[in-house]
Chains A and B, each alone.
Chain A
Amino acid sequence: MLADQDKDPFEERLAAALHETGGGFDTDRTALAARGAVRGRRKRFVRRAAVAGGTASVVLACVGGALVLRPGGTATEAVPSSPTASAEPKPSATAPPATAKQMIGTLKKLLPKGDFSEERGRGTEPTDDLKVPAPYAGLVFDDGHGAAAVEVSVGRVQPGSTEARQATQCPDRVYTPYDACRTSRLADSSVVTVLQRYEYPDRRVDTKLWTAELVTPTGQHISVSEWNAAAEKDKPVTRTDPPLDPAQLTRLAAAKEWRTVADALPEPLPEPELPGSALHARTDLLALLPKGLKVTDKSSDDGDFAYAVVDDGKGRSLVQVNVQPDMLDAAGDLFGSGSETLPDGTRVAVKQGPGDRGHQVMWTVDTMRADGRRVVISAFNAGTQNEPATREAPALTIAQMRTMALDARWWSGS
């Protein structure tokens, strides 16, 4: 509301008119969100390629030096391996392209008997908004026991890359509650993970989302999702469970047809080191936690983000940290009035507010050094962000969080 001045009737009418007009615009939000993610992935690829490009030119300089000393060296091998050469994805064309219609046809063929409606899809050709093609097929499937949305998408990942590994990893239960998650290896050495979770992590609606993520040894990535509702969001639950059981879901993901689609896609870009990968937030968080706290759960990876669930005997408390090297551009948004500036220029902001769930509180100590290096620690009075409060206050005091956040250890070796 406009609290900072007396409202003029024209301003009120203008606000009402904007809301009426603005509210009249609508679009396919799911598609828009998906296209945003695709654009983000492209940006990340470009950024990674740029980082790799920097590294590659150093490598090439060395190779060049070696050439002078050793004619007939490895220059011809080194050049094609330079990631700058593949900053734009190149078609590998080991398979013919698939159209949207073929994608939908394949999905219908592979599903059990039933009625199909609301069919949609995309083929393997790049489009104006998708420079990296992202084929998928989706439809509403009814086997007689209730309409359910089913979607398959096909992509490629670098075999052995972090992305390939993470695609088939069961998520952290602290952030994504689920009923079951099982990873198995198929006869052809593909890895498949079937995850039975919920569309909304807080389960405000009990829409179930079951997925199968399959990655083959050559990096073909097939992702199948199904719901017990006719759409992923905003449609009522139509049945107890999604239509395909885990075994059927696995078979659908493993179908050879999708592999051919993946082969029509450009080769994925190599995965260089991401900036911030020299960070070790998990190790540091565990080292800096005050003595006397029992750690009952912790993140599995080291890097720029970590969490630990601690217990001081009075209940579980989630503590999470983000360590970010280059955040000066966000300083204005993060450190407003009420923040403190230390003599060395480090800014500190403390926030004690409500969390996501009933009676949950979230305490945050945000710090940024003068050069933009940010450490932000949050603590909750619950073991996850998705469950109600388990205790009055987080297990750490603001003073303890502040001491931890300002520790130089986060940046050692980075």
Chain B
Amino acid sequence: MRQARADEYAEFAAARAGHLYRSACLLTAGDTHLAEDLVQEALGRIYVRWSRISGIGNPAAYAQTVLVRVFLTHQRRRSSKERATDVLPDVAVAGVDTPLRLTLLDALARLPAKDRAVVVLRYWEDRSIEETAGVLNASAAAVRTRCTRALKQLRGLLGEDIGAYARP
């Protein structure tokens, strides 16, 4: 890698690693070890293609896309058919585990992987339906269906008043 590009990549990775990691923690429903692995894999893929990626408009958004795809590939490999995580991961989080965090991660863990990705992209990344569809290689209609289904399930798990767990 040319030095200038290597520097550019290093700065990009350092600036984005934190956010990618937080996204990955939500995608994995709190499995921090897997989250680290996914981020490393995503950054590794970005490293290899950096000369291409750095030329496109929004490398940060591209990195998120790579992360979500790495996550989904991982899930596909793990299980041939889509299913919710039946064994809840070890939730090892620095700091105090608030009831909200535990409840939310537990609820996320019960969603099928692709639905979880939809929730994370829509409500954590603030992506539109169309953008989410682009990331997931799915139609907008399919994303809407997943989103509606996931919201219904989360409502059931978390209760309408999810904010009751939140810190004031």
Contacts and interface: CB of A to CB of B under 8 A. Distances in A.
Interface of A: 1-5, 8, 10-11, 13-27, 29-30, 32-44, 47, 129, 166-167, 169, 171-172, 174-176, 200-201, 232-233, 301, 304-305, 320, 322, 324, 327, 330, 332-334, 336, 351, 353, 364, 366, 374, 376, 378
B11 A201 contact: yes
Contacts of B137: 332
Given A1-B126, A22-B124, A322-B52, A41 B151 contact: no
A36 B128 contact: no
Given A8-B151, A200-B11, 7 more contacts: A11-B123, A18-B123, A27-B36, A37-B10, A175-B7, A176-B3, A332-B137
Given A36-B44, A40-B47, A166 B3 contact: yes
Contacts of B166: 13, 16-17, 20
A175 B8 contact: yes
Nearest to B152: A10
Contacts of A42: 44
A351 B57 contact: yes
* B17, B23, B154, B165 interface centre (most CB from chain A within 10 Å): B17
Interface residues of B, number: 71
Contacts of A200: 11
Contacts of A19: 124
B146 interface: no
B21 A32 contact: yes
Given A29-B14, A37-B13, A233-B14, A21 B105 contact: yes
A22 B2 CA distance: 35
14 contacts: A2-B122, A4-B130, A10-B162, A22-B23, A25-B93, A25-B94, A27-B18, A30-B17, A40-B47, A40-B50, A43-B48, A169-B3, A174-B4, A332-B137
Contact of A18 (B10, B26, B130): B26
In the A-B complex, list the 7 residue pairs whose CB atoms are closest, starting with the nearest: A40-B47, A36-B43, A39-B44, A33-B13, A175-B4, A322-B55, A25-B25
B85 interface: no
B43 to A, nearest CB: 2
B68 interface: no
* B5, B22, B129 interface centre (most CB from chain A within 10 Å): B22
B120 A18 contact: yes
A202 to B, nearest CB: 10
Contact of A15 (B7, B55, B123, B155): B123
Contact of A2 (B10, B13, B32, B128): B128
B117 interface: no
B68 to A, nearest CB: 12
Interface string B78-102: 0000000000000001110010110
Nearest to A320: B55
B3 A21 contact: no
Contacts of B154: 14
A174 B3 CA distance: 12
B52 A324 contact: yes
Contacts of A201: 7, 11
A319 to B, nearest CB: 13
A204 B19 CA distance: 20
Contacts of B104: 17-18, 21
Contacts of A169: 3
A390 to B, nearest CB: 20
B22 A305 contact: no
B46 A20 contact: no
A332 to B, nearest CB: 6
B52 A44 contact: no
B77 interface: no
B75 interface: no
Contacts of B41: 39
A14 B10 CA distance: 33
A275 to B, nearest CB: 11
A4 B129 contact: yes
* B11, B39, B56 interface centre (most CB from chain A within 10 Å): B56
Contacts of B62: 333
A18 to B, nearest CB: 4
Nearest to A14: B123
A25 B21 contact: yes
Interface string B127-146: 01110001001000000000
Contacts of B158: 14, 17
A58 to B, nearest CB: 24
Nearest to B18: A29
Contacts of A332: 134, 137
A304 B55 CA distance: 12
